[in-house]
């Protein structure tokens, strides 16, 4: 393993940390963080530090031109003695796709793994152990070069912070179809996890909440008909017992949970269709009763049933308020693996190597 400098303040930060009763999602930050910096064409030694403010130059590229990417993954310790990460390899691979899209350097595999494993190991005592809870890990990288020209930076910080968390959205969701705004352009950054996608989505999310809905459903930015995803979650529907999800179009994020659910469904003999899904067809199929379930999925939310799809014209299309049989079956199968009750038949769980522990 690469050498890592453990800051003298880490032991005190761990000792001083207290877990509150209510966790929420992404609000309580774990007491340590990992940082590795890139400069002069190479990655330098990594540090494990107490969680705290970063010193960033006011002219750093990240603050002006949003040269920033991130990932989200979870460490579980519900029915396990020791923590385990869910499919970190997928996040590492995707993070480097995002890095390339924004002209940032690749993150070597050993740095990425050291980062998520070390933070998990040091925070093992703070991983909550009720079903649905986990340590949410947030790897991110941004351009630090202080220079106002519009060009890729020559220096970067890669960090991992973490948050002991509940599930992001519990209960069913009311989802509003976004007919005007787009999340990302064709030939844009929709398939990568870059900050600008989320900034662009805030206006629609705020309007959605003001209308009494929970999430925006985005359509293809060019044809404005085909379903893409929710903000940070992929979309699934069930018709006649079969699972349908939008095919990856080049502007949809290839979700780790999406991929896992497709594999699980196939293993459970549920037919899966990855295909272009027209929103008007879907709404008609909900109305006619052919579509019996819809749900969103993602690392933060796991599987969230959609109880209402609202259209811009004010029409609402209702589905059962409780998870349907397919959503329930898939969610349970996934959680059984993540939380350590089921057999890890796909080899998805990644233990923390002993040398990562303090």
List contacts with its own copies (CB under 8 A).
25-27, 29, 33, 51-59, 62-68, 70, 101-103, 136, 138, 140, 142, 146-152, 159, 161, 163, 168, 180-189, 194-203, 205-206, 221-222, 231-232
Nearer to its own copies, 188 or 255 (CB): 188
Nearer to its own copies, 207 or 283 (CB): 207
- Helices 109-122 and 88-101: angle between axes, nearest 10 degrees: 130
Nearer to its own copies, 163 or 257 (CB): 163
Least gap, CB of 125 to its own copies (angstroms):
21
Give yes or no for a contact between 310 and 211, defined as CB atoms under 8 angstroms apart.
yes
Nearer to its own copies, 166 or 293 (CB): 166
Least gap, CB of 229 to its own copies (angstroms):
13
Q: Mind giving me the DSSP string for 71-124?
A: --EEEE-SS-SS-EEE-HHHHHHHHHHHHHHTT-PPPPHHHHHHHHHHHHHHTG
Least gap, CB of 207 to its own copies (angstroms):
10
- 348: its two tokens: 């998805």
Residue where the block lists tokens 């811009």: 312
Nearer to its own copies, 246 or 319 (CB): 246
Residue where the block lists tokens 């080899």: 347
Of 100, 103, 107, 189, nearest to 154 (Cα)?
103
Nearer to its own copies, 87 or 183 (CB): 183
| DSSP state, residue 301 | T
Q: 164 φ, ψ to 5°?
A: -65, 120
Give yes or no for a contact between 238 and 266, defined as CB atoms under 8 angstroms apart.
no
Least gap, CB of 251 to its own copies (angstroms):
9
Least gap, CB of 273 to its own copies (angstroms):
27
Q: 134 φ, ψ to 5°?
A: -170, 180
Least gap, CB of 231 to its own copies (angstroms):
6
């Amino acid at each position: 393993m690469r050498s890592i400098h453990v800051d003298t303040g880490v032991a005190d930060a761990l000792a001083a940390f207290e877990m509150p009763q209510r966790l929420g999602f992404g609000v309580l930050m774990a007491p340590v963080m990992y940082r590795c910096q890139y400069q002069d064409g190479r990655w330098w030694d990594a540090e494990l530090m107490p969680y705290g403010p970063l010193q960033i130059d006011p002219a750093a590229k990240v603050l002006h031109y949003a040269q920033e990417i991130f990932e989200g993954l979870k460490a579980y310790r519900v029915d396990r003695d020791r923590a385990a990460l869910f499919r970190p390899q997928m996040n590492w691979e995707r993070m480097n796709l995002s890095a390339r899209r924004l002209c940032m350097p690749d993150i070597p595999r050993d740095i990425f793994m050291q980062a998520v494993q070390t933070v998990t190991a040091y925070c093992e005592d703070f991983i909550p152990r009720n079903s649905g809870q986990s340590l949410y890990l947030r790897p991110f990288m941004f351009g630090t070069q202080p220079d106002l020209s519009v060009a890729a930076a020559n220096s970067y910080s890669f960090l991992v912070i973490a948050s002991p968390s509940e599930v992001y959205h519990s209960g069913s969701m009311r989802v509003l179809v976004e007919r005007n705004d787009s999340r990302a352009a064709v030939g844009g950054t929709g398939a990568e996890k870059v900050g600008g996608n989320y900034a662009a989505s805030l206006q629609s999310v705020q309007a959605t909440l003001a209308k009494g809905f929970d999430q925006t459903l985005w359509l293809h930015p060019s044809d404005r008909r085909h379903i893409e995803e929710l903000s940070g979650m992929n979309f699934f529907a069930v018709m006649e017992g079969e699972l349908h999800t939008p095919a990856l179009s080049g502007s949809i994020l290839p979700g780790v949970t999406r991929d896992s659910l497709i594999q699980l469904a196939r293993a459970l003999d549920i037919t899966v269709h990855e295909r272009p899904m027209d929103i008007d067809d879907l709404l008609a199929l909900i109305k006619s009763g052919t579509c019996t379930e819809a749900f969103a999925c993602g690392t933060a939310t796991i599987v969230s049933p959609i109880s209402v799809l609202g259209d811009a014209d004010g029409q609402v299309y209702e589905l059962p308020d409780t998870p349907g049989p397919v959503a329930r079956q898939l969610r349970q199968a996934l959680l059984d693996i993540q939380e350590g009750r089921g057999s890890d038949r796909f080899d998805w769980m990644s233990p923390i190597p002993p040398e990562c522990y303090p």
